[in-house]
Structure 1
Amino acid sequence: MRLSLLFSSLVLISIQGFTQSTPKSDDVEAIKKQCGCHDVDFVYAETFAPDKSYSFKDRYRAKGTEWVFVDEDQPGKIVIQHLLVVGDSMVIKHWREDWLFQNPSLLKFDQNATWKRITLSPAQVKGQWTQKVFEVDDSPRYEGSATWIHADGRHFWESTVDAPLPRREYTKRSDYNVLRRTNHHEITAEGYIHDQDNDKIVRSEAGDQLLASEKGLNTYKRTDEAKCKIAKDWWQKNRTYWADVRAVWDEVLASRPVVALRGQVKGNVLGRELDELSTAAQKGSYNSATSRQLIRQTIEKYLK
């Protein structure tokens, strides 16, 4: 009898351990359901400001076609890449998101293109997925950890994190320096929505002060896959190079407790330099080792 109870306990412990270290299939399915060829509607509107004299900025709206796809799929890690399709002849490498299961190490945005590494306990990340978001040049942007919720026919994930100014504003505004984003990703029958409640923060030695709040809604609706063929062809030609960029960044970020980037070096920017290396790589026989060396040299120029 005692042996039977002992065996049952060991089986239960083994099952619990497996459950804690293995992602739920519902989570994996929800993450991958964000993929496909989409018509995307981007809408942002400022909604509140504590200072009554604040002048609300105009609403922002843009549309586009975007191919969202899994580029790397491992147990506990899913890499999703976004490519923008412009007209019939242009593809722009857009943002990237890495989803990591029960990940304890995150880069937390501070200010002035600086991120500081934080470590969470196993209890804090139990059952959670980290969404690591990267810029078009694969430099860091923001990272948040939360649990995918599957209830009442809904499938969503939500976290609140600090981030740099969005691309739609960072060249136009200097009245705030941190965007505190509440990101809500929810799967729909037609694709998914990226619902945002954002606070525009002025961060200084005195602390954080709210400048204004905004509502953002990015709606992804699946469309004819043929509209994204140009993006698929582009990625087939460029994937090896950008996989090398990603690998170099992984090595660089893993070795640094603090990551600080320069916006410009001698009038140039990192994204442009990496794009130029990509163009050069396509002209000859591609050598991954040589390319990674050049990529690292380029990235390190922009590290403070």
Structure 2
Amino acid sequence: MKRPAYLLWLAACAGLQTLPAQEPKPEPAAAGGHVFAWPFMDWKEMKPRGGTTKGSEVTLLQGSKDAWRKLQEPGLSKLEQDRRAILAMSGSYRVSFDFTETLGLAENFKPTRPYFSWGTENVTVLEDRSEFISLQHSLVMYFKNDKGETEGPHVMKHWRQDWTWQDPELQVYQGDLTWKKTPTANPQGRWSQAVFQVDDSPRYEVAGAWTHDGGLSTWRSDDCPRPLPRREFTIRKDYNVLEGTQEISITPNGWVHVQNNRKVQVDKDGTRHTRGKELGVDRYEEITAPDLATGFNAYWAKTNGYWKNVRDTWTTILKEKDTFSMKDTYDGKQLFMIHFDHAGKLEQGEDAGDNLKHAQETIANFLNP
């Protein structure tokens, strides 16, 4: 029986490695173990949490991407440099997600184990207008079964990032699954990055500026609050808002996303309690094999109409509402489960009914009055 897409996605987010898990290596002697940022802790206590699912071998791109070479062309305007840097994020990647706590404010603080997972991800340009670019991320995963045979590709729509030049207002996360439309501070010459969940509901939006200096193109964000990521809310209950700044830098073979985050409990009366900080590095390295684009394109050809209905529904909501809040579950399910189940029927060629009606009614069920 085919596994529901959302179960595969949950497994991936839990840290199951969708690239080939390295064969176990002999553990180093305790005296030789070293933990980044915590050099005097017992390395065994800080073994990264994650999974061991094995996937197909990958082939990394040799040399540089064409998008990188285009970014280095002389005589580009600042706006065109920015645009090319954003577009350079598209491609097929081996992606690694690496996070470690750097400090805590509790007495006798002991850090949680670092988080590490990796996967294969396709990033496709959905829209490219002069001052707006939309990039769709999708996990395209190949697994090894018990017989060592490769199964896949399994395609799961992942997050999306929309970039807007000189955006006049942002959807700012307030905590408690609530977002508020807020004027952008100093939008001149800067881009907003709006990040959406796997179900296309808003996650966070923040403004920042691209700089291009000596071959290094980097976008640096303002400080930004956002909901907890799945890697955290499944194990942490002592805070409810992740705040911090982000940097995205383009490399010859991909890009690197660095996060410097604070973990904050924000009470309903606005009282704030900072629990600690973490550092995160997400690394996107271009691959030439396995073929991710073909798997994504096949999935998208069958489901894109529905996902466009979902995006358009949210566009209307964000345009009309100054503030909105969401329910975590409806009828015992999370929003992404219902969307993924519907898209899964379309992927299998089933008649799933009126796509637009399903998108609108599903989202409405998750909005608080």
Normalised by the shorter chain, which TM-score bucket? 0.7 to 0.9
The aligned runs of 1:85-104 (5 Å cut-off) are: 85-87=140-142, 88-104=152-168
Alignment-derived partner of residue 210 in structure 1: 274
Q: What amino acid sits opposite 1:163 in the alignment?
A: R
Alignment-derived partner of residue 117 in structure 1: 181
Superposed CA deviations along residues 126-154 of structure 1, whole A, max 9, x for unmatched, are: 11110000000000101001111111221
- Of 247, 252, 258, the residue aligned with 2:312 is 247
TM-score computed with the length of structure 1 as normaliser: 0.87
SS in structure 1 of the partner of residue 252 of structure 2: coil
* Kept in 2: contact 1:129–1:146 (CA 8 A): yes
- Of 318, 341, 345, the residue aligned with 1:276 is 341
Q: What amino acid sits opposite 2:169 in the alignment?
A: S
Alignment-derived partner of residue 44 in structure 1: 99
Alignment-derived partner of residue 105 in structure 1: 169
* Kept in 2: contact 1:263–1:302 (CA 8 A): yes
Alignment-derived partner of residue 62 in structure 1: 117
1:210 positional shift: 1.3
Measured in 1, the distance between the counterparts of 2:126 and 2:167 equals 19
Alignment-derived partner of residue 14 in structure 2: none
Which of the two has greater strand per residue?
A: 1
Q: Does 1:183 align with 2:246?
A: yes
* Kept in 2: contact 1:281–1:291 (CA 8 A): no
Measured in 1, the distance between the counterparts of 2:161 and 2:252 equals 22
- Of 140, 149, 155, the residue aligned with 2:202 is 140
Alignment-derived partner of residue 3 in structure 1: none
1:165 positional shift: 0.3
SS in structure 2 of the partner of residue 29 of structure 1: helix
Paired residues in the alignment total 279
CA RMSD between the two structures: 1.8
Q: Does 1:150 align with 2:150?
A: no
Superposed CA deviations along residues 70-125 of structure 1, whole A, max 9, x for unmatched, are: 1111121100000012212311111000001111111111111111110236xx10
Which of the two has greater helix per residue?
A: 1
Measured in 1, the distance between the counterparts of 2:161 and 2:359 equals 20
Alignment-derived partner of residue 41 in structure 2: none
- Of 76, 81, 84, the residue aligned with 2:136 is 81
TM-score computed with the length of structure 2 as normaliser: 0.72
Measured in 2, the distance between the counterparts of 1:119 and 1:134 equals 19
Q: Does 1:194 align with 2:257?
A: yes
